[in-house]
Amino acid sequence: MDANYNPQQIETKWQRRWAELKLFDADVDPARKKYYVLEMLPYPSGALHMGHVRNYTLGDALARYMGMKGFNVIHPMGWDAFGLPAENAAIKHGRPPADWTFDNIAVMRGQLKRLGFSYDWRREIATCTPEYYRWNQWLFLKMYERGLAYRKKSRVNWCPECETVLANEQVVNGCCWRHEETPVVEKELEQWFLKITAYADRLLEDMRHLVRWPERVLTMQRNWIGKSPGTFVDFKVEGLDESLRVFTTRVDTIFGCTAVFIGPDHPLVEKLIRLSASPQKLRADAERIQAAATGSRAEASLEKVGAATGFHARNPFNGELIPVWLANFVLTEYGTGAVMAVPAHDQRDFEFCKTYGLPIRTVIQPKEQKLKEPLEEAFIEYGQLVDSGKYSGLTSEQAIEKMTRDAEAEGFGQGTVQYRLKDWGISRQRYWGTPIPILYCENCGIVPVPEADLPVVLPPRVKLTGQGKSPLESVPEFVNAVCPRCGGKARRETDTMDTFVDSSWYFYRYTDPQITSGPINSDAVRYWFPVDQYIGGIEHAILHLIYMRFFTKVMQDIGLVEFSEPVARLFTQGMVLKDGSAMSKSKGNVVDPTEMCDKYGADTVRLYMMFAAPPEKDLDWSDAGIEGAWRFLNRVYRLVEKHQAKLEVLQSTPHVMAVTPDRLTGEERNLLRKAHQVLRHVTEDMEYRWHYNTDIAMCMELANQLAESEAALAAGKIRDEVFRAAVELLVISLSPFAPHLADELWEALGHSEPLLKTPWPAFDPQLAAEEELEIPVQINGKVRARVLAAADASEEEIRRLALADEKVRQYLNGRQVIKVIVVPQKLVNVVVK
RNA sequence: GCGAAAGUGGCGGAAUGGGCAGACGCGCCAGACUUAGGAUCUGGUCCCGCAAGGGGUGGGGGUUCGAGUCCCCCCUUUCGCACCA
């Protein structure tokens, strides 16, 4: 062993050794239990950032631990390689997106390897290769066959910066998710959609299987799906032979309806303008209100603006004629785009009707006491119906059911369920993505590309301008095609798919990344799935993590997989910050992982990442903090190096089991107790909590105690083999976090097999147990003394010891003992007067 | 506004089926070894106090022999949803 810790040399050596031994290669083996550790694959932006390092270190520690526990661990990595930055780089530097992407992948793969992660690199995938995206196209065609992929003209979210369409999920506060300062604008375009709404109920329902997912993520998904059962009610508009259909969850309040509200862009508005007595005024009103409407502003407008249309509609429940108003807060895209206004029982309607002097009529009373009139705010709870004709006296719950049934029977309404979730628009007017495998034939119309013709390959050397039209439109040899049905002239779809399609099923591909007979190998999937542990950032809570669930359900319906949820357990880690805010190039506060590896080595970087904070919390990067991790690994290295000659024994099991506890000296007992306590702590933590920061702290305590034991070792009070056993347990406990150093030390201790081939030892509960405890003695809740007691001392014994203590007796002198509370192994509290 | 999570030394953080607050690390102070140290090692380090002692986990109340932990009110921060009828 070198006198000094040289991480560069050690890490290079072990990375080579691991590769030679194929330690991370995992293959299907029905005789062994499998464990699938998955981390979210990175976008090849050019450089790994510290967030990746944290994510992947968490997964790697688990993968190594599970490997030592004897599981057949699959731990793959790949590249989410399609996307806009490649194209933008191409526009800026004139390099083809593919070149830029693959160069970045090469750099980042090197960074991952430098960090020593235990990936099975044979399974690496890049989503931008035709071998991969061919199956995006295949899955798209399967969805098309089932009516789950469809085309429609619709108002879409357009990011002027990206020059492309965004999915609803990609709009954040009215701005683009990649350009937080850029407001999204609306455009009318023909788009391809995936019918995720058809799966809304299953996405909700199956959440009951996701018991090991963070509640936060499930809540976000539940809100996003926004299931809401209610009733459609048709209001006949006077002077039109048309009904205005509203959606309400509170049909029980309909006798309090004093108006009908529609959004300024409701389809009926044009017709109303045409038939209006004062069309110019109505058009002007609609435009004015549109300008004040939700969605046209980044911040939610608080002020309610509206105008009467001059038209009236009839409430089918009581025959009352009520005015139809335009209102800026009505969302055209939700429900029917029209609502009944019940100011007494809906806060928004209340505010609106107050402003415009529309009547407010109470029809629901709380069960205990009557409402004070006039109302100061809407009463929105359930209650009892009043002034509601034959429904008066019913509870809200009863009324909703009965009135919905009656509406259906009378033919002016029906029960329904509405969702906030909308279909997933996947068309992107960009080049660097999966071509949508569709042809437009002059005779046959929309024709899917036959499976045999897949993949539809992206043409190379396309001129990219970023001008808003799909770049593929300018490539005649791509666009011009022959219709597979009639042989006539056809035009190829030039939009590409949202890259979230790529990442919705990649984790299946890992189990057989080269298969050409289908997207996945069902046998391999059967063995490896579900993913036992998925790790990634919370920012994907509703994008990737809902799309991925949707895809699995579709794949189940197609018969590709036999289950409905792909991920058994999800962990969302906190962000890595610098000086309190996210690292970014523009802030100039980026810490480069490779630079840190050059300075300290991968083990130090990894150890620090795990030590600085529990994994679910944000971690503020500290240059001083990583120094501490570096010093600790140096101490451990020197400790082993110093005693190596004594400790090296060519024997491959820890010595500890050969030493019987009752023949140990007190010093030996203390040392082994600590060592087994550390092992116990790390083992239990690995199983369920992952507070690796505390595991590492325990390792530090053991290292400190080993250093303190050196005198006893020299004096012969601790035998070499006992000291060695403790050192080995330290090395093992540390190995998931600092695997290179651990293997180096393990070898130095005389072992010929690397740690991943060494079974994770079971801690010895007897050795880990305390024999004697220091029990604090409180007088009236204040600690006044401490007594030593055997760990198994009875309540009576402890009580006697406590009351006999000199200090305690001083405090009790002259006072009356009222009560003595003894908690065995914990404390004594003497209550005195 | 609604919902969730969280507020502990100078800093990152330990300790929650109620039971020694501040493990471990950083920083700081003192010392040792050194020509020197930003290397290493030793000791100290919640606050007030010379001490005895007292105070202390965002603030206020409560339950309890005992509260960082449980209950109520308030404040702050972060995240999510923000007119979804």
- DSSP output for A471-503: GGGG-HHHHEEE-TTT--EEEE---EE-TTTGG
Which nucleotide shows the minimum CA-to-C1' distance to residue A227? B84
Q: Are A67 and A756 in contact (CB under 8 A)?
A: yes
Mean pLDDT of the A377-404 span: 94
Percent composition of chain A: helix, strand, coil (DSSP 3-state, to 5): 40, 20, 40
pLDDT, greater one: A833 or A800? A800
In angstroms, the CA of A698 and the C1' of B56 are apart by 27
- What is the C-alpha radius of gyration for chain A, rounded to an integer number of angstroms? 34
pLDDT the model gives residue A559:
96
Instruction: Give the model confidence (pLDDT) of A745-773 as tens digits.
Output: 999 998 989 999 999 999 999 899 988 88
**Residue with the larger pLDDT of the pair A172 and A90:** A90
- Nucleotide closest to residue A818 (CA–C1'): B65
Between CA A323 and C1' B25 the distance (Å) reads 70
User: Which region among A176-180, A369-373, A757-761 has the lowest average model confidence (pLDDT)?
Assistant: A176-180
Range among A418-427, A788-797, A824-833 rated most confident: A418-427
Which residues, in sequence order, are bridge partners of residue A183? A175
Amino acid symbol at A434: T
Asked if residue A769 lies in contact with residue A820, where contact means CB atoms within 8 angstroms, the answer is: no
Query: What residue has its CA nearest to the C1' of B82?
Result: A300
- Spacing of A784 CA from B52 C1' in Å: 14
For residues A724 and A722, what is the distance between their CA atoms, to the nearest angstrom? 5
Q: Tell me what the mean pLDDT of segment A21-45 comes to.
A: 97
> How do strand A306-314 and strand A321-327 relate by DSSP bridges?
antiparallel
The token pair at A450 is 């036959």
Mean pLDDT of A535-557: 94
What value does the mean pLDDT take over residues A311-336?
94
Residue with token string 């949707």: A550
A58, A65 Cβ separation under 8 angstroms: no
Of all nucleotides, the one whose C1′ comes closest to residue A302's CA is: B83
Q: For strand B, give the nucleotides within 7 A of a protein CB.
A: 3-4, 11-15, 19-21, 23-27, 39-42, 54-55, 65-67, 79-85
Sign, CA torsion A765/A766/A768/A771: positive
| pLDDT for the residue A663 | 83
Nucleotide at minimal C1' distance from the A810 CA: B52
Tokens 């510290």 correspond to A50
- What is the distance in angstroms measured between the alpha-carbon CA of A465 and the sugar C1' of B26? 51
Q: Which residue type, as a one-letter code, is found at position A600? A: Y
User: Strands (DSSP E) along A671-748, which ranges?
Assistant: none
Contacts of A657 (CB under 8 A, 6+ apart): A764
Q: For residue A339, which nucleotide's C1' is closest to its Cα? A: B85
**Residues A595-612 pLDDT 10s:** 999 999 999 999 999 999
In this structure, the strands spanning A438-441 and A445-448 are: antiparallel
CA A804 to C1' B54 (Å) is 26
* Closest nucleotide C1' to the C-alpha of A305: B83
Tell me the nt nearest to A295, Cα to C1'. B83
Does the pLDDT value for residue A301 go beyond 70? no
Percent of chain A with pLDDT over 90: 72
Name the residue closest to the C1' of B66 by its CA: A781
Nearest nt (C1') to A626 (CA)? Answer: B26
Q: Which of A610, A592, A539, A537 is nearest to A48 (CA)?
A: A592
- Of all nucleotides, the one whose C1′ comes closest to residue A542's CA is B80
A751, two tokens: 């072992």
Q: Is the dihedral of CA A62, A64, A68, A70 positive or negative?
A: positive
d(CA A433, CA A456): 11
pLDDT score of A566 more than 70: yes
d(CA A190, CA A153): 4
Separation between the CA of A7 and the C1’ of B44 (whole angstroms): 33
Contact A689, A716 (CB under 8 A): no
Instruction: Indicate whether A380 pLDDT > 50.
Output: yes
Residue A510 neighbours by CB under 8 Å, 6+ apart: A38, A74, A76, A78, A123, A125
- Among residues A250, A333, A341, the alpha carbon closest in space to that of A295 is found at A333
- Spatial neighbors of A8 by CB under 8 A, at least 6 apart, are A598, A601
Query: Which tokens in the block code for residue A641?
Result: 């190096």
Lowest-confidence segment of A29-33, A129-133, A158-162, A179-183 by average pLDDT = A179-183
* CA–centroid distance for A503 within its chain: 13
Q: In whole angstroms, how far apart are CA A569 and each of A218, A307, A465, A554?
A: 12, 52, 43, 21
Mean pLDDT of the residues in chain A? 92
Sheet holding A581-582, edge to edge: A581-582, A576-578, A619-621
Which tokens in the block code for residue A563? 């289950």
Reported pTM: 0.94
Note the CA–C1' distance, A782 to B64, in angstroms: 15
Residue A659, pLDDT score: 58
Q: How far is the CA of A384 from the C1' of B56 (A)?
A: 53
List the A120 CA – B42 C1' distance (angstroms). 47
Share of chain A above pLDDT 70, in %: 97
Among protein residues, the one whose C-alpha sits closest to the C1' atom of B6 is A617
Query: Which residue do the tokens 């009610």 mark?
Result: A233
Q: Specify the pairing of strand A78-79 against strand A125-126.
A: parallel
CA A84 / C1′ B50 distance in Å:
70
pLDDT, average across residues A341-356: 94
Q: Which nucleotide is closest, CA of A782 to its C1'?
A: B66
Please, what's the b/e burial string for A194-216 (b: 16 or more CB within 10 A of its CB; e: otherwise)? bbbbbbbebbbebbeebeebbee
ipTM value of the model? 0.95
Distance of alpha carbon A304 from alpha carbon A167, whole angstroms? 28
Give the least confident one: A142-146, A221-225, A237-241, A296-300: A296-300
What mean pLDDT do residues A632-643 have? 94
**Nearest 5°: phi and psi at A496?**
-115, 170
CA of A123 and C1' of B25: distance in angstroms?
38
Q: What pLDDT score was predicted for residue A520?
A: 97
CA-CA-CA-CA dihedral for A436, A197, A346, A366, to nearest 10: -170
* Res. A505 pLDDT band, cuts 50 70 90: very high
Give the model's confidence band at A652: pLDDT under 50 very low, under 70 low, under 90 confident, else very high. Answer: very low
CA of A621 to C1' of B77 (A): 19
Q: Answer yes or no: is pLDDT of A572 > 60.
A: yes
The distance (Å) linking the CA of A613 with the C1' of B13 is 7
Least confident of A370-374, A474-478, A564-568: A370-374
Identify the residue whose Cα has the smallest distance to the C1' of B27. Answer: A624
Both tokens of A670, joined, read 């203390």
Please state the φ and ψ torsions of residue A536, each to the nearest 5 degrees. -175, -175
CA A784 → C1' B47, Å? Answer: 20
Closest nucleotide C1' to the C-alpha of A701: B24
Query: Distance (Å) from CA A487 to C1' B78?
Result: 61
Distance A782 CA to B53 C1' (A): 13
In whole angstroms, give the CA distance from residue A741 to residue A380. Answer: 63
User: What is the total residue count of chain A?
Assistant: 833
pLDDT of residue A206: 95
Report CA-CA distances (Å) from A553 to A251, A557, A570.
34, 6, 18
Q: What pLDDT does A297 receive? A: 46
The integer distance in angstroms from the CA atom of A6 to the C1' atom of B30 is: 32
Cα separation values, A110 from A40, A52, A115, Å: 18, 14, 9
A829 CA: nearest nucleotide by C1':
B65
Protein residue minimizing CA–C1' distance to B80: A220
Q: For A44-81, what is each residue's pLDDT tens digit?
A: 999 999 999 999 999 999 999 999 999 999 999 999 99
Identify nearest nucleotide to residue A293 by CA to C1′ distance. Answer: B83
